[in-house]
Structure formats: structure tokens, C-alpha cells
Chain A
Amino acid sequence: MTTFANRLSLLLPPERLLWQPAQLAAYQSDALTAYHAQPIAIAIPETADEVIALVRFCSKEKIPFVARGSGTSLSGGSLPVAGGIVIALNRLNRILHLDPRQRIAVVEPGVINLAVSTAASAHGLYYAPDPSSQSICTIGGNVAFNSGGAHCLKYGMTSNHVLGLKAVLATGEVVTFGSSSREQLGPDWCGLFTGNEGLFGIALEVTLQLLPKPECYHTVLAGYRTLEEAGDAVSAIVASGLLPGAIELMDALALEAATAAVHADYPAGCAAVLIVELEGPREIVATERGRLDAILAASQPVEMRPARDSTERLAIWKGRKSAFSAVGRLSPDFIVQDGVVPRRRLGEALRRIGEMTRDAQLRCANVFHAGDGNLHPLILYNGRNPGELERAEALAGKILNMCVELGGSITGEHGVGVEKRDYLPAMFNPEEMACLHRIRDAFDPLSLANPGKMFPDGQAPALVSHGLHPLEKAGLISRE
């Protein structure tokens, strides 16, 4: 009678199977640091065939598994399952095929998001989805959680850029969905798979569409005395018929943090700063920038600062993209969410978040994608103070419920994961939840793939109350 460990050891060489507690510790959490769980082993495959063998092994042994890339999930999506194994995909990091003429890239799941754009750059192409963690997060994780970024209004999320994929389902079945074409025939299986939160299986190869790099940008920073004025400016831009690539908003607390952390040079004394970016052929941007500047000038900003060159543009974005890790310096712990509200209710949502935060005796910074109503309230707390984590979680829950009540969503881009699983039923009634369960069961009848995520069931992971992700402390990733 062989043990489970003996049988697993047949699949990978010993140096790619981690069993020791010290080795496992590095994998017990992801970027949602409030949760941790101890897996029994970490498997580090190097080929798709090894991943398939591992999944088939789990299926046969009825062992739960969690696929993991760089562990940057903000919803606890790659949190291990106690008693399960983690399949770490970082070594499947090959760009298998880059076809500049047809503008596609075929990549393995462990390829870093930014590496796709880097590889495509020589051909004048790029991969559009740009989560803040893009210098470290993987395409496999992006596909599993349908990651977003700052440019979703115009270009969509990960799902809008995945043309095809090969995956091993939790049953061990290997499937191919979609193709190399941007068009589909028949039901959109690829669209269904993307955003499955790891509950269907593991993507082995992903065909991504690449876009031509915009020739020209016009990036403007505008500071406002009040959040309402900034919100009105967003409405005016939207009503104008312009379609900016990005409209981002940062509030006073986020500005304070970014200024302190990366010496971002933002207008002083503002309650809110807007970043608006137009992009496209130079002739079109030249025409549209006049309109945008006029709209912003009419919105009574304290100061308006168009980027004069790419250095200034990158400086504006650096402050924005580092805002979350910067806010982290103001507080030992924080929770970030990504609820969505209809754009016209942004002002109301921000006012209510402010009131609820005061009631909870906490602080909350706001940095968000204003163009698509995607909030990112960042609730600061100190886990060492008794009761603060509980108050922060209660506040987070109130904000999620508010998003649903205002007609929005509990998540725009981070996914439900373990963090928001109790709130999914706020969006869907019991029959709709049952339908989602049936779909999951179709892909994974034994609930072995990433169990405990998305659905308010399964075992509760341990909550810990303190600590920043090590990569976050190092400034490598940020919570967006």
C-alpha cells in the first residue's frame, strides 16, 4: 500500500515537490494577506503534460488543488486549500508563438502579463489589459480572474483579449476553446472559461489578441477642491462624446500617500485629482485634445497639467499606479475592494463611503477607475488593535452591499475569490446561484478545483489580522 505522498512523488522530481513546512509557508497566502491556509504540498510542473498529470492525479485521488501564478490575487483567489495541493505554474512561462501579422500571441499560463507586451513591442504591438500588478502577475491568473486595469472602458477586460485556450478541466479532460480568430462560431466557450476563478480547471495555453500601440497620447492631470467637482468633470467628459482610454480619480488621502511615497508632484491642497488620457493617431488626438482641455478648463479645476512629453506622462501614471502600496505606508494593514457602481452614482457612493468610514472610526482612501464606475476603496486598519479588523471587514461588507443596492457589482476586476464569496448572493437570487453551481458542477463534479472560492460554501480559511504581502512591502506589486 503506497501512501499519497509516494504516489504524488512519481509525477515530479523531488526538487519540484515541496513538502516542508518552511517551504509551504511561502505559499500559504496571496495578496489578500488576511487569510492563510496550509496546503500539504506544492507541485512545480514545468510542462503542460505535467500539469495534466497532476490534475488527473488529484481527480483520481479526490484531492483538492489550487493553481497559482504569482500569488497577486486581491480576493484570495490563489489561497491554498488546507489538505490540498498547490500547482505553481510560474515555470510554464514560455511565449510559444508570436504572430505579428495576425496580431496574436500564444502563451503558457505562467507568462508575466507585461512580458507579452515586451515581446510584442518590437512589432509595434501590445497586450492591452494592464492590471497594476502587470509587472509580476501571470496570464494564467489574469484568465482565471478576468483581470482588468486602467483601460477597461475602451478596451475591455482580459476576457475581451483571449481568443482561444487549451485547458485541463478538473475532471482531467483536456479541452480546446476558441481559436486564433477574433470571431467565434457557436457558444463562446472561451468567454465562459475566462473568469472561472480556477473552479473549472487550469489553462495550459492561451491565445491572446495584440493591439497596435497607440501612436500618440494626451494625458492631463486636473486637481479639484472637492470630489463632487471631479465627479462632475467625469460626467462632462462622458457626455462630450469623447472616448478616453482612461479616466482615473484619486482622493486626498491617496494623493497624500502617493506624494510621500514616490514624490509624485500633484497639485497641493486638492480633494481629488483626475487623470484623463486620450490616445490614437496623432491627427485625431490633436483634434480631440482641444475639446478635452476645454471641458476640463470649464470644470473649475484648481490646476490643470497636460503632460508635455512621455516622461511627464509616465510620472503621472507612476503616482497613480503606486498609490495603493503608497497608502499601505500610512497604515499597517488595509483591505482593498473593487465594487462597481453606475457612473452617475459615483458622487453618492463616495459620500456614503465617507459617512460609513466615519461611523466605523476608520480611514478609507479612494483611488479608482472613474470612467467605468469601478471603485477601489482602501480601508486602513491596524490588526494589532483589538476589533479593528472586524470593523474594517464590516465596513467592507457595507460598501459591497451599497454597490449592489446602487445597481452595480461587488467586483469589477479582482473576482469574488474567498474575500467576497458571502456577498455573491446579494447579486444573484437562489435560483441564479443554483444555476452557477450547476455550471461549476459540469466542469468539476467533485469540487476539487479551487474549492471555497466564489461560492459561500466550503471550509473557512484561517483569518490572520496582520501583515503586508512581502512583494507589496518590496514595492513590486500594488493593490489596484
Chain B
Amino acid sequence: MSTILTPSSVTEFADAVRAHSTVLAVGAQTKPRLSAVNAAVVRLSTRSLTGIVEYEPDEYTFTARAGTRLSDLATALAEKGQYLPFDPPLVESGATLGGTVAAGLSGPGRFRYGGLRDFILGVQFIDGAGRILRLGGKVVKNAAGFDLPKFFVGSLGRYGVLTELTLKVFPRPAATLTLRIPVTTTSAAVEILTVLGRSRWEAEAVDINPTGDAVLIRLAGPAEPLQIIAQEICARWPGEILSVIAARQIWTTLAEFRWASSDDSLFKLAVTPLQLPALVAATQQCGGRAHISAGGNLAFVALPAGAATTLGVPALRIRGTGPLWSQATAPSPAIFAAVKAALDPENRFPLDA
């Protein structure tokens, strides 16, 4: 069993980074594979690094410590009529803000206004030499200096320890409405996805459910117009408007990955709509299921433990055992190594799969 330390301040975190040769930050470990490295590593838990540092509803921004739970953030934002438009998963499971940024996880709502990368404004982090650094900014628009905050989205803690994050938020739509449109093939579903992407309706989310038999469309905005838009969509593709309870249940099931077995390996993939028929077929070949999200740009695939992972596109294993990456290609060996050395010269944050 490896060591877990729980520093209670940013300074203590920096001291802990300097004090050990191999360290990795962990949050609530709701994506356990991401921190299941082989190396003998000292894990630094953000459990005591919590709380909202600044929240300015009028600015559409907040700054919170990395260990703050998304559920606490969602509550604080909802009190002021705001929300995280990129719709991160695992809120109910206790995921933290830092873990979500490091894992680079957005949800179905990324379809409308973009993903976590589009809402991150600033980071405070500890580099591999134990320096506490703050890059980016705290205002909604900023072009000063290199955009390290974006780089840290999906960085898996391998380039620095995130300690504080500043994000942009939006006013929460007054209402949402979910449609379920049955489909018989992935191609039919993709047709709906691509037409919706170009439509006047401006849906908030367009997903294919993990059983592959329906497209789920979530509309968001003032309540009355949503009904009119929903009826127009249903006239084009026969479907049903889900009750508020049914809609909440289905989106929560997706967000918490309850559609997958806890024994499954769970992967995140970045895809495009036209790749989906092949991906879904490959997933079924491997005995798994796929939740297609964000209009066909994001996929979560669950495969039975030990199954082959011949999905045909790069995949990141966030849960389960086996290699972290599948069919991934690093951008290029030279620049990859140079940036890693710039941020973590002594290789304290283990890259190993």
C-alpha cells in the first residue's frame, strides 16, 4: 500500500512535492485508474484543500481550491442562479474540481457552449520543483501569457499539482426539457446528431444512450418556447418528451456511469460523429457498451474486465485495470519531453501507464 499524505495548505503541498521523489495528487478517486500508477508513489490528497476562495456571480467567475467537491460548487452556483455549462460527470459520486480538471472530463452539456477547456480561466499549481505558480487570470477574458490553464485540462496530474482553479460560469437556464427519440441503427442516430448540430434549435445536449436504441436531446431555456421547439423536433423524428423525473433519472444515470457495471473498464474517447458507427460496432465486438455524448464528440465506453480494447480510436481508461492509454499517440516525442522537462524537470510526477 502506498503512502497517502493529506497536506492542509498549498505551502504544505509544495513542501510535500519537494520532499518526495515521486508524487501524484489525488482527489476523491472517482476515476481510480488515473492515479493507479505502477511506480512507488506518494499520493497527495486534496481532501483538506477545499472551499470556494472567491465567487463573484456578477463576473460569471469563481475560484475554488482543488479538493472542492463539484456538488458543493453546484450548490453554491445554483443559489445564485448559475451553473457549470460543461456539465461535468460524477458530481453525486463526490468528484472534486481538481480531479475533474486533471482528468479533463466534461459531460453532455458540453455540446452547447463547449467543454471544461472552454471554461477554465486560471490555475494555481505546484510544478515539479515545488514552486507555487499562478497562470492565466481571474477575469472572463485574458490573453496575457501562454495558456497553461488549458494545458492542464486532461494533464492527469503528470505536469503539476493543481491547487486552485478559476472558472467561468453562466446563468442557469430557467428550464430544461428532454426528448427521447428511438432509433434502430447507429447511422440513424448519427444522422439526427449531425442535423441537430446544424439546426436552429440550439439544443443543450444531444447523446445516444448506452443501449444504443435512442437519441436523447436536452433543450434548455425559458420553459414555454422549449415546448414549441420540442414539438417541432418530434414532428421531424417521432419521439417522446420525458417527465421531469424521468429526465433527471436518465441524465444522472449517465453522469454517474451507473449504466456501466462497477467491474467494467470505463474509457473516455474523443471522437467525431462520422466515426461512431465503427466505434459502436467495435465496442459491441469487445462485448461492451458506449454512451455517445456531446453531439457525437465524446464517448464513454464500458468493457467487461479483461476484454480486448480494440476500439479503433485512442482511449483513456478512467476505471478498471489494464493500460491507462489504448492506441494513443503522443503529440511528438521531442516537444512532449521538452514541455515535461520545463514543468517537471526531475520527473516527480510519474508518466507511466
Contact = CB atoms under 8 A, between A and B. Distances in A.
B151 interface: yes
A283 B225 contact: yes
A242 B56 CA distance: 16
A175 B334 CA distance: 10
Given A212-B199, A443-B335, A411 B143 contact: yes
Residue among A148, A409, A428, A440 facing the most chain B CB atoms (10 A cut-off): A409
Contacts of B222: 284, 287-288
Residue from the set A187, A214, A373, A441 with the largest chain B CB neighbour count within 10 Å: A187
Contacts of A169: 335
B117 interface: yes
Contacts of B314: 185
B104 A373 contact: no
B352 to A, nearest CB: 15
A288 B175 CA distance: 13
A342 B59 contact: yes
B18 interface: no
A439 B297 contact: no
Contacts of A189: 151, 331
Given A188-B153, A287-B225, A409 B144 contact: yes
Contacts of A411: 142-144
Contacts of A185: 104, 154, 268-270, 314-316, 328
B282 to A, nearest CB: 16
Nearest to A195: B147
B139 A340 contact: yes
Contacts of B159: 187
Interface string B169-194: 01110100000000000000000001
Given A181-B270, A342-B56, A442-B342, A124 B198 contact: yes
B133 interface: yes
B65 to A, nearest CB: 19
B316 to A, nearest CB: 5
Given A101-B274, A431-B131, A280 B221 contact: yes
Interface residues of B, number: 82
B197 interface: yes
A386 to B, nearest CB: 32
Interface in B192-223: 194, 197-202, 221-222
Contacts of B53: none
A238 B142 contact: no
Nearest to A373: B139
A49 B330 CA distance: 23
Given A103-B197, A124-B198, A179 B270 contact: yes
Contacts of A180: 272
Contact of B58 (A152, A174, A238, A408): A238
A458 interface: no
Interface string A418-461: 00100010011001100110111111010000000010000000
Given A191-B147, A212-B197, A373-B140, A435 B133 contact: yes
Interface string A203-214: 000000000101
Contact of A187 (B131, B145, B152, B268): B152
B106 interface: yes
Given A160-B114, A185-B316, A283-B228, A443 B338 contact: yes
Contacts of A196: 146
B135 interface: yes
Interface of B: 56-60, 81, 104, 106, 110, 113-115, 117-118, 127, 131, 133-135, 137-148, 150-156, 158-159, 170-172, 174, 194, 197-202, 221-222, 224-225, 228-229, 268-274, 294-295, 297-298, 314-316, 328, 330-332, 334-335, 338-339, 341-343
24 contacts: A146-B147, A152-B140, A171-B334, A173-B335, A179-B272, A181-B297, A182-B297, A183-B115, A183-B271, A184-B153, A187-B156, A192-B151, A195-B147, A241-B171, A283-B229, A284-B222, A340-B141, A344-B59, A409-B141, A409-B143, A409-B144, A424-B145, A428-B145, A435-B127
Interface of A: 100-104, 123-125, 145-146, 148, 152-157, 159-160, 169, 171, 173-177, 179-189, 191-192, 194-196, 212, 214-215, 235, 238-239, 241-243, 280-284, 286-288, 340-344, 369, 372-374, 407-416, 420, 424, 427-428, 431-432, 435-436, 438-443, 445, 454
Given A159-B150, A442-B341, 10 more contacts: A156-B114, A160-B118, A187-B158, A188-B153, A215-B200, A239-B57, A281-B221, A344-B59, A438-B343, A439-B146
